[in-house]
Structure 1
Amino acid sequence: MPKPKLSTIHPRRLAGGLLLLASITTQVLAADNTLIAVTEPWPPYNTFSNADTADGAHALILQRALALSGLTAPISVYPWARAMALAQSRPNTLLLSVARTPAREQQFIWIGKLSQTQQFLWRLDTATHGPEASLQQILRCCSICTIRKDVSEEALRQQDSEHSMQLVLTGSHHDCLRLLRSGSVAYMAGSPYRIQTTLQQSSLPATLLHKTTAIAPVRTLFLAASHGTPGVTVSKLQQAMQQLQQSGEHDRILQQILSRPLPAAADSNAANPPANPP
């Protein structure tokens, strides 16, 4: 008796279905006015055990602030561009960890500090290093990969006065690393800790990439809230974040999580870039 044929789903239909599901989920969230929190996969700050669970240091600080405030909010992990879009369009939404920049000052209600970060450009390390190119030279000549809606994208666009930059936007630092290793881009943007954890999760040596020029000053990462979030909610969370800072619990949570070794990335392709990346 012949075996029944297995049905297959065309990749375009699958992608369309996923986009439809994401759109429906966003609409449901927008219709529901309960307090929620959104973030991105970023070990060990927002995530730790895996890319879908908000159990990193900043997420734990938020959970403690919610408990002290007598509030509850589920923390969902999305690509950064989607998390930003939700926090900019849906009232009663918390966002972490967002760098406070002049361009973003009026976009959110700033609740409390989480940590600090600084963005640099990175290239593949070579045996011999010539004179280091300046940021403006790199912007004029070379392709750069960064994360869509990330603070590094904002900083690079602000400094691209000649509008000559070759900027490639992706959804994750692992994607940028693949493009860099395949030769599709010359540089990628990221903070030292972000680069360190990306290489570590990809089972790659820390010496693979060479840090070049800074693209922005040191920025403070915040817990923020969307406009339309009730003032009483904002006030309770601001007081709780201040209490965590003053008691030293904020720093203890950071130190506890940052001292743990990171698990390997679930993406098995992270350490082996495809021959022809998309």
Structure 2
Amino acid sequence: MNRTGFRPLFRPALARRRALFAMAVALLGAGTSSRAAEPALRLYTEEYAPYNYTIKGKPSGLSVEIVMELQRRMRLDIPIEVVPWARGYRSASTEPWVGLFVTARTAEREPLFQWVGPISATRAHLYARRGEQTGIRSLDDARKVPQIMVPREWYIHQDLRSRGFTNLEPVSTPADAMRMLLANRSVVIAMDESTVAETMRLAGLVSDPPEPIVKISEALLYIAFSKGTPAEVVQRWQQTLDEMKRDGSFAAIHQRWLPGVPLPSAPAAR
């Protein structure tokens, strides 16, 4: 009893209320920490016009527009980071929750990623300065030149390396390869045919465009998600892309960037 003779009946009830409040705050804090710890998807792309590149510091291009529309439909707002291809490729092949685009889907890369697409298609050639007599008529001939400039870790680089080419000279960007060719620092470069004109324009090169002399390979281009990205996330991206293809919005974007170029067809199930 207290001095007034009444038992403090309210104090245990108050203590219980305070304990319940403290528990609720703790649980709320734990939930917030859990959500904050949940990994966020990262999206990487590179300078690879007209598919993806920067204009006034902002990502642009065919695949960028498609990825942004996919995000709009899925109510996502993930920033697109433009990084050197080798860096983005390394992250996507070794870290969870990473998407990299556009990525050529090749036999070597097939088991390394989960694939959403196709977004487009491309063909790769060896290019020489227009009118120059290189004497190169085949890939075997190309093994004999001092060096072949090729963007580092592009599918073309990986393809030629897997064929035993020892004269490859990797560079950071396609523009670097183009500058070196036109400056007569290389006899040939390896490039995608759909990127040549835009690469020259964006690099401010006004020379005659180089000409293809030998075909290397062709490939379909995809968004590559790291193996550590949950399969249901990848499936949602593919389903949303399929919706874009059904309603015609994909075709409209593709033809705006690559007028007259056929839409890519998905290969048979692997």
Q: Bin the TM-score by the shorter chain.
A: 0.7 to 0.9
Look up the match of 2:172: 171
| Partner residue, 1:14 | none
User: In structure 2, how many angstroms separate the alpha carbons of the residues matched to 1:184 and 1:129?
Assistant: 16
Within a 5 Å distance, the mapping from 1:112-123 to structure 2 comes to: 112-123=117-128
Partner of 1:103: 108
Q: In structure 2, what is the Cα distance between the partners aligned to 1:229 and 1:131?
A: 47
More deviation, 70-79/103-112 = 70-79
Secondary structure of 1:245's aligned partner: helix
1:82 is paired with a residue of what secondary structure? helix
Aligned residues: 223
- Residue in 2 that maps onto 1:195: 196
- Contact preservation (8 Å) 1:39, 1:95: yes
Is the Cα–Cα contact under 8 Å of residues 52 and 60 in structure 2 kept in the other structure?
A: yes
Residue 143 of structure 1 and its aligned partner are, at CA, apart by 1.2
State which drifts further: 105-114 or 60-69: 60-69
Q: Which residue of 1 aligns with 2:11?
A: none
CA-based RMSD of the aligned residues comes to 2.1
Distance 1:65 1:183 in 2: 42
- Alpha-carbon offset, residue 133 of structure 1: 2.2
Question: Structure 2 CA distance, aligned partners of 1:166 and 1:72?
Answer: 43
1:76 alignment counterpart: 81
2: CA distance, partners of 1:130 / 1:107: 37
1:233 pairs with 2:233: yes
CA distance in 2, matches of 1:81, 1:191: 17
Change (3 A) 1:84 1:57: same
Q: Is the 8 A contact 2:54 2:82 kept in 1?
A: no
Are residues 166 and 145 of structure 1, via their aligned partners in 2, closer, same or farther at CA, if it must alter by over 3 Å? same
Paired residue secondary structure (2:108): helix
CA offset at residue 48 of structure 1?
Answer: 5.1
What is the TM-score of this pair, normalised by structure 1?
0.74
Equivalent position of 1:150 in the other structure: 154
Classify 1:124/1:32 alpha carbon distance in 2 versus 1 (closer, same or farther; 3 Å).
farther
Q: Which residue of 1 aligns with 2:98?
A: 93
The separation in 2 between residues aligned to 1:62 and 1:201, in whole angstroms, is 22
C-alpha deviation, 1:110, in angstroms: 0.6
2-side partners of 1:32 and 1:122: how far apart?
46
- Contact 2:96–2:226 at 8 Å: present in 1 too? yes
Please report the TM-score for the alignment, with normalisation by the length of structure 2. Answer: 0.76
Partner of 2:44: 38
Aligned-partner Cα distance in 2 for 1:71–1:154: 33
Q: Bigger shift: 172-181 or 33-42? A: 172-181
Kept in 1, the 8 Å contact 2:197–2:209? The answer is no
Give the SS at the match of 1:102.
coil
Structure 2, unaligned stretches of length 5 or more?
Answer: 1-36, 260-270
**Deviation (angstroms), 1:36:** 1.5
Comparing 147-156 and 135-144, the one that deviates more? 135-144
SS of corresponding position for 1:141: coil
How far does residue 253 in structure 1 lie from its aligned partner after superposition?
1.1
Query: Which among 53, 64, 71 is matched to residue 58 of structure 2?
Result: 53
What's the secondary structure of 2:99's corresponding residue? strand
Match of residue 139 from structure 1? 143
Q: In 2, distance between residues paired with 1:73 and 1:100?
A: 23
Deviant stretches of 4+, over 6 Å: none
Which whole-Å CA distance do the structure 2 matches of 1:252 and 1:246 have between them?
11
Counterpart in the other structure of 2:254 = 254
- Whether the 8 Å CA contact 1:116–1:220 is kept in 2: the answer is yes
- Paired residue for 2:68? 63
* Residues 237 and 39 (structure 1), Cα distance of their counterparts in 2 relative to 1, 3 Å cut: same
Question: Given that residues 35 and 72 in structure 1 are in contact (C-alpha distance below 8 angstroms), is that contact kept between their aligned partners in structure 2?
Answer: no
Unaligned segments of structure 1, at least 5 residues: 1-30, 260-278
